[in-house]
C-alpha cells in the first residue's frame, strides 16, 4: 500500500514511464536481498523492498497502458491488464 500511495506524486512530477522504469530498482534490490538471504529477517526486508516496487507498479502499469493504447483497443487492454492481476 505504501508503494502504491507513494508513486502518485512521483508519476505526476516525472511521468508514468520514467517512474515505472525507476521502479525496477527496488524490485531488483528486493529480489537480490531475498535471494542472498541467510536468515529470516533479511528475507523479510527483501520482500518488503520488493513489495514497495510491486505495489507501485501495479498502480502505474494499468494507467500507462491505458494512456498509450489506441482508442479502439483501450478497453480491451485495460480489461486484460486488470485480469492479469487476478
Contact 82, 62 (CB under 8 A): yes
What are the DSSP calls for 48-82, one per residue?
Answer: HHHHHHHHHHHHHHHHHHHHHS-GGGHHHHHHHHH
H helix and E strand count, the chain: 5, 0
Chain segment 36-49, per-residue pLDDT in tens:
999 999 999 999 99
Percent share of the chain, pLDDT over 90: 28
CB atoms within 10 A of CB 46: 19
Give the pTM.
0.74
Amino acid at each position: 500500500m505504501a508503494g502504491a500511495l507513494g508513486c502518485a506524486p512521483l508519476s505526476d512530477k516525472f511521468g508514468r514511464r520514467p517512474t515505472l522504469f525507476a521502479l525496477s530498482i527496488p524490485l531488483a534490490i528486493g529480489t537480490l536481498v531475498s535471494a542472498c538471504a541467510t536468515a529470516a529477517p533479511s528475507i523479510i526486508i527483501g520482500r518488503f523492498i520488493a513489495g514497495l516496487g510491486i505495489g507501485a507498479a501495479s498502480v502505474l502499469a494499468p494507467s500507462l497502458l491505458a494512456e498509450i493504447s489506441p482508442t479502439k483497443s483501450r478497453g480491451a487492454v485495460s480489461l486484460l491488464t486488470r485480469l492479469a492481476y487476478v
